[in-house]
Amino acid sequence: MEKSLKPMSGYLALVIAIALTGIGIYLLVNAEHQAPWIVAGVLLILLSLFFLKGLMIIQPNHSRVLNFFGKYVGSVKENGLFFVNPLYGSYKLSLRYQNFQGQTLKVNDKMGNPIEIGAVIVWRVGDTYKAAYQVANYIDYVRTQSEAAVRHLAVSFPYDTMEDEQAEITLRDGGERVNKILEQELAERLEPAGILIQEARISHLAYAPEIAGAMLQRQQATAIVAARIKIVEGAVGMVDLALKKLSAENIVQLDDERKAAMVSNLMVVLCGEKAATPVLNAGTLYQ
């Protein structure tokens, strides 16, 4: 578990080191070949180096993980100049948010269709002990586990509802729900490394090139059929309204054959892709 450590200020140690260095040099210069003064001067300079080695500067949003001969001592997260035991080993860690732009992966969705998918992940180190000692390299761990999570997401849902009409969530239309699922899985996968996930978003999603053309034609055909259905429904309603209005206002009496002809003409006009060209009949319907 992470232990927060607050070492002593380094400014006092810096002043002591400078003072010891000055005194040591003074003794060496004025020793006049007297062994005790020379030894004292050398010891004071070595002692000042001891203090200087223990100085540690921590930049904002950075930390140091300290250990003493293989034993974890604690983590320093405050920024500034500090003094610690010079025999401590230290490991630098950044606590800043970082972006991971994963490469575009080619995988199969839930229905087996090859798709291309990529994600952008915003993360940072939350537990310095786990990041330093639980995994070999926490950055490589983030990269590998992120790609694994994106692959698992892709195979868990269909690309869109054309493949699975009963699907509640699809990769294409899932939006925030898909992103939340990805964030949750990433949080679980990266927890052993002490990584916190701020945000995860799908940045690229498309059919693989080998089926993209066929899927585009299928989408266009589906859209055309849906549009035709709406057009026919509207045309039928308009024809029905026209017949009812003619009958209600007693404008003209139409038998079944005339009604059929009128319905046919109106459907051609309303459902045709191009404007209909009228043909004038100078006679009657039966001539």
In tens, the pLDDT along 229-276 reads 777 777 677 777 777 776 776 666 666 666 676 667 666 666 666 665
In tens, the pLDDT along 216-232 reads 666 665 666 666 677 77
What are the C-alpha distances in Å from 70 to residues 117, 125, 267?
43, 22, 86
Residue 183 and residue 159: Cα distance in Å, rounded? 19
pLDDT above 90 coverage of the chain, percent? 37
Query: Mean pLDDT over residues 37-54, rounded?
Result: 87
Using the predicted structure, report yes or no on whether residue 87 has a pLDDT greater than 70. Answer: yes
pTM of the model: 0.70
pLDDT of residue 133: 93
Give the helix/strand (H/E) hosting 145: helix 138-156
pLDDT of residue 248: 72
Q: Lowest-pLDDT range, 163-167, 193-197, 209-213, 216-220?
A: 163-167
pLDDT of residue 111: 82
DSSP reduced 3-state for 205: strand
In tens, the pLDDT along 129-186 reads 999 999 999 999 999 999 999 999 998 888 876 655 566 788 888 888 999 999 999 9
pLDDT of residue 219: 64
pLDDT of residue 267: 67
**CA-wise closest residue to 108 among 215, 209, 207, 212:** 207
pLDDT of residue 134: 92
Query: Mean pLDDT over residues 8-23, rounded?
Result: 89
What are the C-alpha distances in Å from 46 to residues 17, 23, 29, 52, 186?
10, 12, 16, 10, 50
pLDDT of residue 143: 93
